[in-house]
Amino acid sequence: MSRKKTMAVLLTAGIVLGVNGVYAQGPPAAPNAQSATAFDNKIIKKISADNMYDTIALLSAQPREAGTEGELIGVQYIKSQFEKYGYETELQPFKIYNTVKGPRVGSLVINGESLNPYVFSGSYSAEVTAEVMNVGLALTGTVPDTVKGKIALIERGTNPFVEKVKNVLEKGAVGVILYNNTGTANNVGVADPGQNIPAVTITRAQGLALVEQLKNGPVTAHVKVTGSGYIEKTSYNVIAKMKPHKNKDTGQVVMVGAHHDSVPGGPGANDDASGVSTVLELARVMANMPIDTELRFVTFGSEEKGLLGSYHYASTLSKEEADRIVAHFQMDMVGSKDAGGNNPAGGLIMYTIDGQKNLVTDLGAAAGARTAASVAIPYGKLGRSDHQPFHELGIPAALFIHSPLEPWYHTPADTIDKIDKNKLQETAEIVGASVYQIARPDTPALKNARVAPVLIDYDFENRPPGA
């Protein structure tokens, strides 16, 4: 394990954390227990590990794979809790695509003659019988409205396959026959998820023959594709906002997130019902606190399918809104009794995408020393969770997780009996105290040294999670 001593930085994202005098006696060396401030206590005294445990038990009663009924049940529960606590709550739906398992098979019949077409990689599975219409290269802006309800005959070349498909789909075509622009092969063609149209490819000779035939009158074709494409499902993010009073609004936003989806068939008690339980508990305890910064709690869907929910959420933020977000705290796998090895604070670590400290890690490290863990939390470098899209928007973000991982990671044994209330409590205290340090009304500029918790030294750890 390599350790590199670094100093806490004072300025990040426009929030002044340090003030003259904070380092008057020099920063204490980590780890070093500090005491909780009166502000910390307003949050941490209200946190209930029993509440979090009960939430995990409820959520892990069934798998929550994105796009399934299990996700929806979880999402509705999460939404109802946020609403109960008084938050402005929104379900944000987005489409996800699961690949259809093959074999990918296609047929094309014209005038009783069976051609042996290639099926586009990713072609939608469907069967249509319709008139064929030659639309040339299907360049953008050239496809006529009259292709509606017809099968578009398209020549390969000049523009990408997916653009050709897009252009005819937009005009209401119901099938695609592509013909090659060269040679004797037919094995080309790619469609994107969401391009819900069967698409097959024939050779150049077959294509030119069809072009000629069409000059003599209408031609009807039958196109059929099976075992291919994507099944469209809906996944959700759950977003809860609490805005400060207008007179007291800094215009800034602090975010706390977790992902509610699990791997297929996994109860996902630790991954990541634990993070969701912490998000909900912090939302509960902060609901009636005085704030000058918007609190935004989000649980993401489809993290396990490639951070799809957090990327979708990030894509909906305008530049102005992204610039108002000063910090994103992501909690993923924060309650396993079998994670963390012999590391201090149960192995809690804050991973950033670039391995650099930021506002989130500065606050988290210091809050660790002031709260139940009584130790500065180290930081490290890792992606693999929903802090990634926020980092890419330039928002200070970190993943709170216990490392090394437990052996139950992504298995059906990731169940409630492996959850440790103490780990939940410590994580919630650290993130809660950190978030409240940003959101409480006296800290936008933290000019007042009397209320500023001491920033501390904390270490980089090269600690691989081990799975």
User: Please, what is the minimum distance in Å from the beta carbon of residue 198 to ligand BES?
Assistant: 30
User: Please, what is the minimum distance in Å from the beta carbon of residue 194 to ligand BES?
Assistant: 20
> Which part of the chain contacts ligand BES (CB under 6 A), choosing from 158-166, 373-381, 382-390, 429-437?
382-390
Is residue 287 within 8 Å of residue 85, measured between CB atoms?
yes
- Candidates 242, 401, 416, 419; binder of ligand BES (CB under 6 A) is 401
d(CA 439, CA 252): 9
Residue 437 CB: number of other CB atoms within 10 A?
28
8-state DSSP, 271: I
Count the helix, strand and coil residues of the chain and give each as a percent rounded to the nearest 5.
30, 25, 45
Is residue 332 involved in binding Zn ion (CB under 5 A)? yes
Residue 102: exposed, middle, or buried by beta-carbon count in 10 A (0-12, 13-18, 19+)? exposed
- Candidates 21, 157, 306, 394; binder of ligand BES (CB under 6 A) is 306
User: By C-alpha distance, which of 40, 72, 92, 24 is closest to 309?
Assistant: 92
- Candidates 281, 303, 406, 461; binder of ligand BES (CB under 6 A) is 303
Is residue 406 involved in binding ligand BES (CB under 6 A)? no
Which residue type occupies 379?
Y
Q: Which stretches of 111-259 are assigned E, i.e. beta strand?
A: 113-115, 118-119, 126-134, 151-155, 175-179, 199-202, 220-226, 230-242, 253-259
Residues 165-184 close enough to bind ligand BES by CB under 6 A: none
d(CA 188, CA 196): 18
How many angstroms separate the Cα of 268 from the Cα of each of 142, 278, 419? Answer: 50, 14, 11
Residue 184: exposed, middle, or buried by beta-carbon count in 10 A (0-12, 13-18, 19+)? exposed
Strands 175-179 and 151-155, bridge-based pairing? parallel
> Which part of the chain contacts Zn ion (CB under 5 A), choosing from 61-69, 144-152, 265-273, 441-449?
265-273
Residues 226-285 close enough to bind ligand BES by CB under 6 A: 271-272
User: Please, what is the minimum distance in Å from the beta carbon of residue 82 to ligand BES?
Assistant: 22
User: Please, what is the minimum distance in Å from the beta carbon of residue 341 to ligand BES?
Assistant: 14
Give whichever of 272 and 294 is closer to ligand BES, judged by the CB atom: 272
User: Please, what is the minimum distance in Å from the beta carbon of residue 303 to ligand BES?
Assistant: 5
> Which part of the chain contacts ligand BES (CB under 6 A), choosing from 18-26, 243-251, 341-349, 380-388?
380-388
Give whichever of 183 and 466 is closer to ligand BES, judged by the CB atom: 466
User: Please, what is the minimum distance in Å from the beta carbon of residue 297 to ligand BES?
Assistant: 18
- Candidates 271, 362, 386, 420; binder of Zn ion (CB under 5 A) is 271
How many positions of this chain bind ligand BES (CB under 6 A)? 15
How many positions of this chain bind Zn ion (CB under 5 A)? 3
Is residue 303 within 8 Å of residue 310, measured between CB atoms?
yes
Q: Mask 319-338, x = binds ligand BES (CB under 6 A)?
A: -------------xx-----
> Which part of the chain contacts ligand BES (CB under 6 A), choosing from 78-86, 224-232, 302-310, 368-376?
302-310
Is residue 384 involved in binding ligand BES (CB under 6 A)? yes
405 binds, among Zn ion, ligand BES, none (CB under 5 to 8 A by kind): ligand BES
User: By C-alpha distance, which of 178, 179, 144, 139 is closest to 159?
Assistant: 139
Is residue 296 helix, strand or coil? strand
φ/ψ (deg, to 5) at 204: -60, -45
CA torsion sign, 338 to 341 to 346 to 347?
Answer: negative
List of residues contacting ligand BES (CB under 6 A):
271-272, 303-304, 306-307, 332-333, 382, 384-385, 401, 405, 465, 467
List of residues contacting Zn ion (CB under 5 A):
271-272, 332
